Chains A and B, each alone.
Chain A
Amino acid sequence: MSESLPDSTQLGATPNSGADAPTADAAPPPTRPTATGTVDPVTANVLYADHITIKFGGLIAVNDVSFSIPPKSIVSLIGPNGAGKTTFFNVLTGLYQATEGTVFLNGRDVTLIKPHLRAAMGMARTFQNIRLFNLMTAEENVMVAMHPHLKAGVASTILRLPRQHREERQARDTARELLEYVGIGHAEGELARNLSYGDQRRLEIARAMALRPKVLLLDEPTAGMNPQESANFNDFVHRVRDERDMSVLLIEHDMSVIMKISERITVLDRGSMIAEGTPDDIRSNQTVIEAYLGKTGTREGKRNKT
């Protein structure tokens, strides 16, 4: 029953949790992959998508986009509706196959690897419209995501061998710790469907974190949050990055969140990457402004019109 996993990290061993974690300020600046060959983008990044193109029939959803997530970084993917963000996301997680291009996870080519194995190798995601296991408790939801890291088979479960018993207990402890970490420790026994919207979002993140990923992909995590919650979310993402040693990729609509949180932003529009850079770069980027507001929305557009 045990999956052959590339890494054999032990359950419950959260590396680097709290003790010697660097603060947000001391975090190393993300290594920008360059075309000069000084840094190999495949090995320098946790996740590297190389010239990805996705076609649905004759429709090009994503067109030749390269994208990298350095270790312990917080990067974002933004773009107007229909820009291909979620499609791109789905290629990274393996839900869609890229028509062209390669995806590397921890330096390994995972383009043809199935989603559940990618998950086991260190990639976890949340969903734009929450997809929890509604009739399972919060704790069970988190424990499902430990599936690849647990080893018990059919026989040892039926016989309840000591090893399986211990493993289950540890998994439960880890699940509770994670729920505590995202701030819903009180709800461990609640069915997921009974949680409030915000708590469901938190539970989704806890569930994704249970996979012990190297990179956490969050699809519109602040949708439906109020400003206060969004601000807290900002701190939370930094905490996850620093204490849990994860990179975070965000898809977001809320610009205030994006600009505050991200170290690097990639902008997609109609399937193509139109800009990439720090929040300040993006804020002042003319192409991005046009993509969001339309040409008429900009000063230049107005001038042309009159």
Chain B
Amino acid sequence: MSTTATQAQPSRLRATLYRQRWPIGYVTVILFLFVLYEFILPSLVKGVTAPITAWLPVATINECLMWAIMALGLNVVVGYAGLLDLGYVAFWALGGYTAGWLMAYPFNWTLNFHLLSPVPARAPGTHINFWLVCIIAGTLCAVLGIIIGAPTLRLRGDYLALVTLGFGEVITQFFRNSNDIAGRNVANGDPGISSIDPIGTGPLGAAGIAPKLLSNSAAGNVWKILVLGLLVGLCIFISLRIREGRLGRAWLAIREDELAANMMGVPLVRTKLLAYAVGAFFGGVGGVANASMITTAVSPSGFDFGKSVLVLLMVVLGGMGNVWGVTVGAFLLAWLNSNGLKQIGVQLDSWFGTSLAGSLPRYNYLILGLLLVLMMLFRREGLIPEQRTAALMHTASRTEAESLGADSVEAASETEAFAHSDAKADALIAASAAAVSPVLNEPEPEREDVR
């Protein structure tokens, strides 16, 4: 009894470990980054730490993580359901502004309301806990997604893309003019809302383990890795889980063949709306994370069309439909955009004596565009593609090949048959073929048309 138990124990443990390999791997990476920047780097000599902090500063890691949330959200819409969304920045903006409304010092109104916020109780303005704001913003964006999706998702392909593009612009313009919406200052117009609350660390902060507020300081930035890491982890978790169920299948089916999916009982508008809503939820959370941890302020100029394109690029370059590809794509592009290009410029300068450090970051869209063109030429399916899509890009489907002509397929199967048969059969076939060939080579007699 006991022996079987001890035998079963390790294998069961190994099976569990194998099944949970992505959460384990992911947590390890995030914890490693945290430990590296919190404990290891400060104790090392400057010669070792300098290149690390130059190439990958903590602030950049945080930015990458924030963009990963966005890319994962857009991946649900574009990668899973196959709906091209060129206005994804709208949800990011609305999420950011929700943070501006619910967790910042007032720009206009003086409604004082505090809920589990780290901000001192006597401070003016509405201050609600970061996690609650995330849920509120996500829900708000999901609702907005459904509202704009309901009329537009009846459109197909290109038309949908155009409408979403317009919608993204509308939202930006709305916030740009938001200082005077029917005579009311709704979101402070061009200057936007500044001084959004940082995240409080609650008991950890009180115990002196973590800084009390995760502000844009060196200490705060390191701890943000954990917060953002948790958010990204949740997004990955949701993306993976939702993919496996009834809804994920319906999305895939719609992506593959909308009409057939409809005929198989999949309600098109409802299913697409759900993809939109889930994607918008992620976008809203990304917006709050950005406003609270990266920029600490929101203004309309930050939410331009370029950002929509950037997120789409992350999804496409990373590998549409694959959660890991999209995450890697987000990291790569966010890194290039925030720090990588500058650092590459600095490196080139030190090698060749050029002066690229200042100009290279300004050419970011040119460089990203070139990257995209190269990817489309040489690796259309993305860095880490979805398994099923990878096959599509490089091989013709079986029926497609067969439609080119039964002859080619027959020829192929015959060659296969020859390859598998043994030598004796080969000889037999060859002999019979030789016997038949004079007949075959004879010109066909002219036949009268039977019809």
A residues in contact (CB < 8 Å) with B? 1, 3, 93, 95, 114-117, 119-120, 124-125, 127, 130-136, 140, 143-148, 150, 152-154, 157-160, 164, 168, 171, 191, 193-197, 200, 207-208, 210-211
A114 to B265, CA, bound (A): 10
Digitize B223-245: 1 where CB-to-A-CB distance is under 8 Å, 0 elsewhere: 00000000000000110011011
Q: Which 8 A-B pairs have the closest CB atoms?
A: A157-B245, A119-B265, A193-B397, A148-B265, A133-B256, A135-B388, A145-B264, A131-B260
A115 to B258, CA, bound (A): 12
A-B CB pair tally, cutoff 8 Å: 121
Chain A CB within 8 A of B356 CB: no
Q: Are B257 and A131 neighbours in the complex by a CB distance under 8 Å?
A: yes
B interface secondary structure, majority: helix
**B381-415 interface (Cβ within 8 A of A):** 388-389, 391-392, 397-399, 402
A159 to B398, CA, bound (A): 38
Closest to A195 in B: B398
CB distance from A272 to the nearest CB of B (A): 26
CB distance from B102 to the nearest CB of A (A): 24
**B236-282 interface (Cβ within 8 A of A):** 237-238, 241-242, 244-250, 252-253, 256-257, 259-268, 274, 278
Closest to B281 in A: A154
Q: List 29 A-B contacts (CB under 8 A).
A: A3-B267, A95-B259, A115-B262, A116-B264, A116-B267, A117-B267, A119-B262, A119-B264, A133-B256, A133-B260, A134-B397, A135-B252, A135-B388, A136-B388, A143-B249, A144-B264, A147-B249, A147-B265, A152-B245, A152-B247, A154-B247, A157-B244, A157-B248, A164-B245, A168-B244, A168-B246, A194-B398, A197-B398, A200-B399
B residues in contact (CB < 8 Å) with A? 237-238, 241-242, 244-250, 252-253, 256-257, 259-268, 274, 278, 388-389, 391-392, 397-399, 402
Q: Are B262 and A116 neighbours in the complex by a CB distance under 8 Å?
A: yes
A240 to B124, CA, bound (A): 72
Which residue of A152, A196, A211 contacts B264 across the interface (Cβ within 8 Å)?
A: A211
Q: Are B246 and A193 neighbours in the complex by a CB distance under 8 Å?
A: no
Q: Are B256 and A197 neighbours in the complex by a CB distance under 8 Å?
A: no
A145 to B252, CA, bound (A): 12
Decide yes or no: A136 and B398 within 8 Å by CB, A116-B262, A150-B246 being known contacts: no
A84 to B341, CA, bound (A): 62
Interfacial chain B residues near A125, Cβ < 8 Å: 263
Interfacial chain A residues near B268, Cβ < 8 Å: 116
A159 to B266, CA, bound (A): 22
Which residue of A145, A191, A211 contacts B391 across the interface (Cβ within 8 Å)?
A: A191
CB distance from A293 to the nearest CB of B (A): 10
Interfacial chain B residues near A93, Cβ < 8 Å: 263
Q: Are B249 and A158 neighbours in the complex by a CB distance under 8 Å?
A: no
Which residue of B244, B278, B391, B398 contacts A154 across the interface (Cβ within 8 Å)?
A: B278
Closest to A151 in B: B246
Interfacial chain B residues near A197, Cβ < 8 Å: 398-399, 402
A132 to B263, CA, bound (A): 11
Interfacial chain B residues near A3, Cβ < 8 Å: 267
CB distance from B385 to the nearest CB of A (A): 11
Decide yes or no: A168 and B245 within 8 Å by CB, A116-B267, A140-B252, A191-B388 being known contacts: yes
Decide yes or no: A136 and B249 within 8 Å by CB, A130-B399, A131-B259, A193-B399 being known contacts: yes
A195 to B399, CA, bound (A): 8
Interfacial chain B residues near A193, Cβ < 8 Å: 391-392, 397-399
CB distance from B321 to the nearest CB of A (A): 9
Q: Are B241 and A116 neighbours in the complex by a CB distance under 8 Å?
A: no
Which residue of A1, A120, A136, A207 contacts B252 across the interface (Cβ within 8 Å)?
A: A136
Which residue of A133, A152, A160, A164 contacts B253 across the interface (Cβ within 8 Å)?
A: A133
A125 to B261, CA, bound (A): 11
CB distance from A108 to the nearest CB of B (A): 16
CB distance from A290 to the nearest CB of B (A): 16
Closest to A127 in B: B260
Q: Are B242 and A196 neighbours in the complex by a CB distance under 8 Å?
A: no
Interfacial chain B residues near A168, Cβ < 8 Å: 244-246
Q: Are A136 and B262 neighbours in the complex by a CB distance under 8 Å?
A: no
Interfacial chain B residues near A145, Cβ < 8 Å: 264-265
A164 to B246, CA, bound (A): 9
CB distance from B146 to the nearest CB of A (A): 13
Which residue of A133, A157, A196 contacts B241 across the interface (Cβ within 8 Å)?
A: A157
Closest to A130 in B: B399
Interfacial chain A residues near B244, Cβ < 8 Å: 157, 168
Closest to B402 in A: A197
* Residue with the greatest number of chain B CB neighbours at <10 A, chosen from A115, A125, A191: A115
Given contacts A144-B249, A191-B388, A211-B264, 17 further A-B contacts (CB under 8 A): A120-B265, A124-B264, A125-B263, A131-B257, A131-B259, A131-B260, A132-B257, A133-B252, A133-B256, A136-B388, A140-B252, A147-B246, A148-B265, A157-B242, A157-B247, A193-B397, A207-B264
Decide yes or no: A144 and B245 within 8 Å by CB, A131-B260, A132-B260, A133-B260 being known contacts: no
CB distance from A164 to the nearest CB of B (A): 7
* Residue with the greatest number of chain B CB neighbours at <10 A, chosen from A132, A135, A143, A145: A135
Interfacial chain A residues near B237, Cβ < 8 Å: 158
Interfacial chain B residues near A208, Cβ < 8 Å: 264
Which residue of B261, B266, B389 contacts A135 across the interface (Cβ within 8 Å)?
A: B389
* Residue with the greatest number of chain A CB neighbours at <10 A, chosen from B237, B244, B247, B250: B247
A140 to B267, CA, bound (A): 17
Interfacial chain B residues near A160, Cβ < 8 Å: 241
